[in-house]
Amino acid sequence: MTGHAHGRRRALVVGIGAGGLDQVTVEAVRALNAADVFLVTDKDGSGGAAGAGDLVRLREAVIARHRTDPERRIVRVADPPRNRAPRDDAEYAAAVRDWHAARARAWADALTEALPDGGTAVVPVWGDPALYDSAVRVLEQARGLGADLEYEVIPGVSSLTLLAARHRLVLNRIGGAVLVTTGRRLAADAAGGTDDLAVMLDGGLACADLPGEWEIHWGANLGTDDEELVAGPLAEVLPAIRAARTRAKAARGWVMDVYLLRRI
Ligand SMILES: C[S@@+](CC[C@H](N)C(=O)[O-])C[C@H]1O[C@@H](n2cnc3c(N)ncnc32)[C@H](O)[C@@H]1O
């Protein structure tokens, strides 16, 4: 990573951890310091969560903590509208596809305008860019739109990694498999016989309705001062999880949670 590379327009998708100022890798710090501009959308990382403003502030705090040059150019790209009430999986897939195409166009235009003579744009991404984040796909599409662009991905500490660390967990049972899934798919995935599931993007505690017996390791607002952790047999600890969610929400104005379920 060499900072300004004249003539070349380069984007770095940088995982900045899931909320903690310290969960940023040395490689990510180097990338944050190589940025000529930061490309951000105001909804990054929130997954639609309420209180996205606080997440934006957290992201800015991570950048401010690790960038030695306090000067920075931030280019905000307006997020195109998205159909948030799809009726089925096909509509959901189509809504996401259209949204990504519109974002790719917006990002390609923003990058061309911000870096007319080349340089490095950093796209800070919540957690790790490889899990439930669209930045990599959007940039790949933007590259195809004539933005004359190269991009690299710098991995980050995911909320899922942080969950495992906080609970001192190994996500898989010995030699076993784990399915990483979302709240909206959980019921179907569990009904399909999967015994070990890591669940993200679940605003409504979908695990509460699962038949069968499960053990849960749950965490909310990980990495922040208002982190919450609960573990135990699901049926027993659900009230504690609900109370912890309410606490986290009251403390910060938003709650994001991630959990591991194991069929007992
Ligand atoms: C759009 S996804 C982004 C995931 C992110 N790329 C990562 O690696 O953590 C947002 C989801 O990640 C999880 N998440 C992100 N940050 C979190 C945090 N600080 N504590 C708990 N869960 C978090 C939640 O499941 C949330 O719904």
What b-and-e string marks burial along 170-182, b requiring 16 or more CB atoms within 10 Å of the CB? ebeeeeeebbbbe
Which residues are CB-contacts of 103 (< 8 A; sequence separation ≥ 6)? 41, 77, 79, 80, 134, 138
Rounded to whole angstroms, how far apart are CA atoms 66 and 30?
Answer: 9
pLDDT at 3 over 80: no
Mean pLDDT in residue range 93-116: 91
Instruction: Name the pLDDT band for 127 (thresholds 50, 70, 90).
Output: very high
Angle at 240 between CA 238 and CA 246, to 5 degrees: 105
Report the pLDDT value the prediction gives residue 81, as an integer from 0 to 100. 84
Q: Among residues 260, 235, 230, 259, which one has the least CA distance to residue 246?
A: 230
E-only strand ranges, 77-203:
119-125, 150-154, 179-182, 196-200
Q: Which residues line ligand 1 (CB under 6 A)?
A: 18-19, 45, 47, 126-128, 131-133, 158-159, 200-201, 219-223, 256-258
Report the pLDDT value the prediction gives residue 43, as an integer from 0 to 100. 64
Contact criterion met (CB below 8 Å) for 173 and 261: no
And the tokens for 247?
């606490």
Rounded to whole angstroms, how far apart are CA atoms 164 and 142?
Answer: 34
What's the CA-to-centroid distance between 220 and ligand 1, angstroms?
9
Contact criterion met (CB below 8 Å) for 117 and 7: yes
Cα radius of gyration (the chain): 19
Strand order in the sheet with 37-40: 73-76, 37-40, 119-125, 9-15, 150-154
Instruction: Name the pLDDT band for 56 (thresholds 50, 70, 90).
Output: confident
> What average pLDDT does the chain have?
91
Report the pLDDT value the prediction gives residue 118, as an integer from 0 to 100. 94
pLDDT at 208 over 50: yes
pLDDT at 119 over 90: yes
Mean pLDDT in residue range 211-238: 97
Atom of ligand 1 nearest to the CA of 227: 20
pLDDT at 240 over 70: yes
Mean pLDDT in residue range 169-186: 97
Q: What is the per-residue DSSP string for 231-253?
A: EEEHHHHHHHHHHHHHHHHHHHS
Atom of ligand 1 nearest to the CA of 156: 8
Mean pLDDT in residue range 56-65: 88
Report the pLDDT value the prediction gives residue 46, as an integer from 0 to 100. 46
* In the chain, % of residues over pLDDT 90: 73
Cα–Cα distance list, 45 to 8, 91, 158, 262, 264 (Å): 28, 23, 11, 26, 32
Domain spans in the chain, listed from the N-terminal domain onward: 9-157, 160-263
Mean pLDDT in residue range 224-242: 97
Higher pLDDT, 147 or 36: 36
Backbone φ, ψ for residue 28 (5° rounding): -65, -40
Atom of ligand 1 nearest to the CA of 19: 19
Report the pLDDT value the prediction gives residue 57, as an integer from 0 to 100. 85
Pocket test for ligand 1, best of 22, 162, 199, 256 (most atoms within 8 A of CB): 256
The alpha carbon of 99 is separated from its chain's Cα centroid by a whole number of angstroms, namely 17
Which residues are CB-contacts of 119 (< 8 A; sequence separation ≥ 6)? 4, 5, 6, 8, 9, 10, 36, 37
CATH classification code of 160-263: 3.30.950.10
Cα–Cα distance list, 220 to 55, 180, 181, 209 (Å): 14, 17, 17, 19
Report the pLDDT value the prediction gives residue 178, as an integer from 0 to 100. 98
What's the CA-to-centroid distance between 258 and ligand 1, angstroms?
7
Mean pLDDT in residue range 226-248: 97
Indicate the burial class of 156 (C-beta count within 10 angstroms; 0-12, 13-18, 19 or more): buried
Instruction: Name the pLDDT band for 5 (thresholds 50, 70, 90).
Output: very low
Report the pLDDT value the prediction gives residue 146, as an integer from 0 to 100. 73
Report the pLDDT value the prediction gives residue 123, as an integer from 0 to 100. 96
> Domain 9-157 is in which class?
alpha beta
Mean pLDDT in residue range 60-81: 89
Mean pLDDT in residue range 74-96: 87
Report the pLDDT value the prediction gives residue 2, as an integer from 0 to 100. 46
Report the pLDDT value the prediction gives residue 6, as an integer from 0 to 100. 54
Report the pLDDT value the prediction gives residue 45, as an integer from 0 to 100. 46
